[in-house]
Structures are given as structure tokens and as C-alpha cells.
Amino acid sequence: MEAANGPRNEALAESDLPNMSSQPPAVSVRSLTRVFEPRVRRGLRGLLPRFRAEPAEPKRIVAVNDLDLEIAPGHCFGLLGPNGAGKTTTVKMLATLLEPTSGSASVAGFDVVRSPRQVRRNIGVLFAGERGMYWRLSGRENLELFGTLSFMPRERLRERIEAAAHRFGLEDRMDDLVETYSTGMKQRLNLARATLHDPPVLLLDEPTAALDPVAAREARHLIRQIAEAGTAILLTTHNLYEAEQICDRVGIIQSGSLVAQGRPADLIRQAGEMPRLDLLLRGDLGTAKALIGSDGLWWGEVNRDGEFAVAVRAPDGWRSSDALTSTLVSQGIVVEEARLREPDLEDAYIAITGSRIERPFIER
């Protein structure tokens, strides 16, 4: 398995990069920056006697700082980052809801500042926590309303609604009121609404944040299908598993700046992450420490049964594991449990951002 990984990934890395020579990028962002200046509070200040200290001066916030990225048609780009990192601000600028302070962005070939109307016609948008639908109308009525508001011709709208009902698995419920829908169905209807006019670019701000695991999985599957059909997708999330599952490329955003971007597999490699072996051992701790040496990443306490856990660097996967466990056994250490864990995007994220989150060890 290890042999298959190296060269194949290199080849993929080449061919998988957005090919800008044959197709212009669907989304192109250059040095995009947004600063929120402190608001001057006028109001009653100065008129009232001062009983308390003035509130702290509001600060200038650089919400998005010098962002560069490109998304090719049919690709899904995941913008990953903690709360307050600048994800929603980025989406709002691309959706023409906020003007950039500096830098530029184009969507489907149109500049977000100079041609906002054309941009809006070419995007579908879904914001986190947005209600987005009239709950007292049926699914069909909602789609008819949004389609009419975006000036879709009647015949085309009818066709698109039929196609959306089928694609998003809502055929049987299209004439029921949205308030009777499950959360997952509401989100599927939201996706149907965002893609109704078949936009070449879809902007999804935390599309699965409010969903239960089953609904989130459905939504991920649908989002992947939409990308496969040729739509360029910008998706924000703080769910690393989600990003690794559905995004072709991801960018890690921290305090407004993109600190890394690439294919999930490349980021994992760049971060220097390697497989880790979790062992549960019994025997003499000193002997085990001497044998494992500096490959030991983390040591647990010895419990009442004389067992202790250790996490070990395993650069060659199972080969490292086999070599180490036979050495341990030959020196009288009992290997109660051995688990190899491949590095994932979460490991890379933690390494890149310097966050300190300990992963659960062997759970007992």
C-alpha cells in the first residue's frame, strides 16, 4: 500500500491542479482584503453626565487579509478556519454583498465591484443559519417564487423545478408546506433554490453546520454531485472531515490570512505528518522507553494492571509497527493492543495552525 501511495499521488497532484490554460477559472481572487473600521458612536455621548468609564474604543478589524485563490469549473474549494477567521466575509464579497477594501475578485469572469449584477446572475448562494425559505409555502411555491424573482422564463422554471425535485429527492413532498419538512429536507430545498438557475458558481457558507449527521452526509453527497456536474463551488466549513471528503482543494484561513492551500493529501504531506502507532503495552516502562526512544510521541501513565499507552511515530506504517512490536515482545513487553492511524487533514490542520488539540488515544 505504501508503494502505491507515493508516485501515484505525485502524478495526481500534477493533473489535479486547476488547468487555467484551457479553461478560465470560475472564481479568481487577488489580494482580496476587507477591513472593518470602528464605527464612531455619536448618539448621546457628551450629553449625559459620565457615571462610568467610556467603553473601550472599538478596534479596526482586518477580517480578510490579502487573500489569493482560484477555483476551476467543476472543482470544490474548501475554506477552512475557526470562528471569526474571515470565511463569511470572503463569501459576502464574492456574493457582492460587501465591497472589498482592496484587491479584486471575479466570478464567472465578472468583477464583483464593476459588474455586481452579472455576478449575482451567475451565482447560487447559501448562508449559514439562514432561514431562506417561506415555511408557510410549499417547496414548489418557494422555488416558483425565487425563480420568478430572478426573472426565469415560466417554461424553463417549470422544467428546472421538476429536475431539482428529482435531483434533491423531494418529488413526493414538493406540494407539502416547508414547515413540515425535516431539517435535512429544508437544506435540500435550500440547495435546490441556490442551483435553480443552474449557476456556474455556488457559494456555500457552512452548508452542513446545522444538520444532523445523516442530513449532513446527504448534503455532502449532493454538493459533490453538483461539483461533478461542472459547477465551481466555494464551501466554508470548520469540519475537517467534510473538507477532506468533498473538496478538491482546501485553504486554511486564520485571522483573515490564508496560511496554506492545496489538495488535502498534499497538505497532509507538506505538514510532514506521518502514520502514528497507538500501542497499549504491559511490562517494564523503562525497558519500553529505552526501546522506543525518540520515536515515542506521547506516554501515558501506568495503570493498576501495569498497562501503559504510548503513541509512536510510524513512518513506514505497518512495517514500522511490525518491527517495533517484535522488538518489544522479544524484550518481554506484552503488546495488548496496536492501532495504526493514517494522518488526516485534522493532523495537518493542527500542525499548520499550531493549534493544540490532543486527539483521543486508544479509548477504553
Whole-number minimum distance, CB 148 to ligand ADP, in Å?
31
* Interhelix angle 183-195/139-149, nearest 10 degrees: 30
Report the residue number, 87 or 197, with the smaller CB distance to Mg ion. Answer: 87
Q: 61 touches which of ligand ADP, Mg ion, none (CB within 5 to 8 A by kind)?
A: ligand ADP
Of the candidates 9, 18, 11, 94, the residue with the CA atom closest to the CA atom of residue 248: 18
Q: 254 touches which of Mg ion, ligand ADP, none (CB within 5 to 8 A by kind)?
A: none
State which of residues 63, 203, 271, 311 lies at the interface with ligand ADP (CB under 6 A).
Answer: 63
Q: Is 103 left (phi over 0), alpha (psi -120 to 50) or beta?
A: left
Say how far apart CA 203 and CA 124 lie, in whole Å. 6
> Hey, what's the cell of 303?
495503570
Of the candidates 340, 351, 346, the residue with the CA atom closest to the CA atom of residue 1: 340
Sites for ligand ADP among residues 83-102 (CB under 6 A) = 83-89
Report the residue number, 113 or 137, with the smaller CB distance to ligand ADP. Answer: 113
The residue range among 87-95, 220-228, 259-267, 354-362 that interacts with Mg ion, by the rule CB under 5 A, is 87-95
Q: 63 touches which of Mg ion, ligand ADP, none (CB within 5 to 8 A by kind)?
A: ligand ADP
State which of residues 73, 74, 81, 283 lies at the interface with ligand ADP (CB under 6 A).
Answer: 81
Count the residues of the shown chain that bind ligand ADP, applying the rule CB under 6 A: 11
Q: 269 touches which of ligand ADP, Mg ion, none (CB within 5 to 8 A by kind)?
A: none
Cβ-closest residue to Mg ion? 88
Q: 134 touches which of ligand ADP, Mg ion, none (CB within 5 to 8 A by kind)?
A: none
Report the residue number, 104 or 257, with the smaller CB distance to ligand ADP. Answer: 257
Say how far apart CA 77 and CA 267 lie, in whole Å. 14
Say how far apart CA 244 and CA 238 lie, in whole Å. 11
Residue 88 interacts with Mg ion (CB under 5 A): yes or no: yes
Whole-number minimum distance, CB 59 to ligand ADP, in Å?
9
> Hey, what's the cell of 342?
493514517
Residue type, 8: R
User: What's the longest Cα–Cα distance across the chain?
Assistant: 83
**What are φ and ψ of residue 38, in 5° steps?**
-65, 140
Whole-number minimum distance, CB 8 to ligand ADP, in Å?
34
Q: 28 touches which of ligand ADP, Mg ion, none (CB within 5 to 8 A by kind)?
A: none
Report the residue number, 74 or 251, with the smaller CB distance to ligand ADP. Answer: 251
Beta pairing, strands 249-254 & 76-80: parallel
Say how far apart CA 177 and CA 254 lie, in whole Å. 41
Say how far apart CA 105 and CA 103 lie, in whole Å. 7
In the shown chain, the binding pattern of residues 116 to 155 toward Mg ion, with x for contact by CB under 5 A and - for none, equals: ----------------------------------------
Whole-number minimum distance, CB 94 to ligand ADP, in Å?
12
Whole-number minimum distance, CB 3 to Mg ion, in Å?
42
Residue 61 interacts with ligand ADP (CB under 6 A): yes or no: yes
DSSP alpha helices (H): ranges in the chain?
2-16, 87-94, 116-121, 139-149, 154-167, 183-195, 213-228, 240-246, 264-270, 285-292, 318-330, 345-353
* Interhelix angle 318-330/285-292, nearest 10 degrees: 140
Which value, in Å, is the radius of gyration of the alpha carbons in the chain?
26
Sites for ligand ADP among residues 22-41 (CB under 6 A) = 36
Interface contacts to Mg ion, rule CB under 5 A: 87-88
Interface contacts to ligand ADP, rule CB under 6 A: 36, 61, 63, 81, 83-89
